[in-house]
């Protein structure tokens, strides 16, 4: 089974509008972390936002917020006031079995959503 | 945020030659680094986990002798693609864990990636 599912291969949004990018996950581990990364056409992966499985509140970072619905196992990214520069590929990722120290804790990525912001 | 560099950013080589890609954490120490491979329009696939001072941990299906990983210091990991073939052409991207914070919230920071083209 897919651990991370992003069902939207592509999304279009008008400038200044808000957009929600979907992400559902599958894990039996009670301790996990969810990440969103942005990948512009240049290729670098830019960390956007993090949500821990035990966090009581939804994470927010500037124009990015994470709609964390634990019972539904969803972690949708909301981008408010979209800008042309937001056009990029967006990846949802999960890290399971969090430990305080040590190696491992690898990330599993979804297939990504290509976001295009239009005038 | 933390900075991770990769060198070279782009390389073209002949079939049968070996190519070395460097991944450096510039302002933090990383005992663990990760190497990913990404084909066009696809997600990141973890190849191996690079552990400082010990052998790398390879994901299932990744040939250890084909993709040599050396993590000789706390700031440098190298990936060598040996006897490269055209099917090895891909985007290779590394990441490093910023362990200064520790705990579940620690974040992986990604390098800018290396585009490899094998002729």
Task: Report the pLDDT value the prediction gives residue B107, as an integer from 0 to 100.
Answer: 73
Task: Report the pLDDT value the prediction gives residue B104, as an integer from 0 to 100.
Answer: 53
**Residues B31, B52 contacting (CB under 8 angstroms):** yes
Residue in A35, A43, A106 closest to B49 by CB:
A106
* 8 Å CB contact of B109 and A47: yes
Task: Report the pLDDT value the prediction gives residue B88, as an integer from 0 to 100.
Answer: 96
Task: Report the pLDDT value the prediction gives residue A91, as an integer from 0 to 100.
Answer: 97
Mean pLDDT, to the nearest integer, of B88-110?
Answer: 79
Task: Report the pLDDT value the prediction gives residue A99, as an integer from 0 to 100.
Answer: 55
Q: Which residues contact A75 (CB under 8 A, 6 or more apart)?
A: A23, A24, A25, A34, A36, A51, A66, A67, A68, A69, A92
Instruction: List average pLDDT for each run of 10 residues in chain A, which is 119 residues long.
Output: 89 96 94 93 91 93 96 97 97 79 71 96
Task: Report the pLDDT value the prediction gives residue A101, as an integer from 0 to 100.
Answer: 47
Mean pLDDT, to the nearest integer, of B105-115?
Answer: 85
Print burial letters for A41-66: b (CB count within 10 Å at least 16), e (below 16): eebebebbbbbbbebeeebeeeebbb
Task: Report the pLDDT value the prediction gives residue A100, as an integer from 0 to 100.
Answer: 46
- Tens digit of pLDDT for each residue in B21-78? 999 999 888 888 999 999 988 999 999 998 888 889 999 999 999 999 998 888 999 9
The token pair that represents B6 in the structure block: 């990769």
* 8 Å CB contact of A31 and B43: no
Residue in A31, A44, A47 closest to B113 by CB:
A44
Alpha carbons B93 and B115: distance in angstroms, whole number: 9
* 8 Å CB contact of B110 and A31: no
Alpha carbons B38 and B115: distance in angstroms, whole number: 10
Strands A10-14 and A113-118 come out as: parallel
A20 in reach of chain B (CB within 8 A): no
Task: Report the pLDDT value the prediction gives residue B115, as an integer from 0 to 100.
Answer: 96
pLDDT above 90 (res B100): no
Task: Report the pLDDT value the prediction gives residue A103, as an integer from 0 to 100.
Answer: 46
pLDDT above 60 (res B96): yes
């Amino acid at each position: 089974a897919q651990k991370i599912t992003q069902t939207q291969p592509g999304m279009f949004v008008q400038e200044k509008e808000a957009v929600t990018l979907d992400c559902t996950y599958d894990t039996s581990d009670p301790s996990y972390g969810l990440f969103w990364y942005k990948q512009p056409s240049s290729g670098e992966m830019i960390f956007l936002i993090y949500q821990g499985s035990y966090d009581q509140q939804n994470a927010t970072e500037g124009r990015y917020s994470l709609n964390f619905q634990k019972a539904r196992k969803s972690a949708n990214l909301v981008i408010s006031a979209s800008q042309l520069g937001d056009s990029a590929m967006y990846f949802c990722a999960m890290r399971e079995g969090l430990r305080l120290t040590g190696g491992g804790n690898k990330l599993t990525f979804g297939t990504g959503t290509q976001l295009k912001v239009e005038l | 945020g933390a900075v991770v560099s990769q060198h070279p950013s782009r390389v073209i080589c002949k079939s049968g030659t070996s190519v070395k890609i460097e991944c450096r954490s510039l302002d933090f120490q990383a005992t663990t680094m990760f190497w990913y491979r990404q084909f066009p329009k696809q997600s990141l696939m973890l190849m191996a986990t690079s552990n400082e001072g010990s052998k790398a941990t390879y994901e299932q299906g990744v040939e250890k002798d084909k993709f040599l990983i050396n993590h000789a210091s706390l700031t440098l990991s190298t990936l060598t693609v040996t006897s490269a073939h055209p099917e090895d052409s891909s985007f290779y991207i590394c990441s490093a864990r910023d362990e200064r914070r520790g705990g579940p919230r620690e974040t992986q920071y990604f390098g800018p990636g290396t585009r490899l083209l094998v002729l």
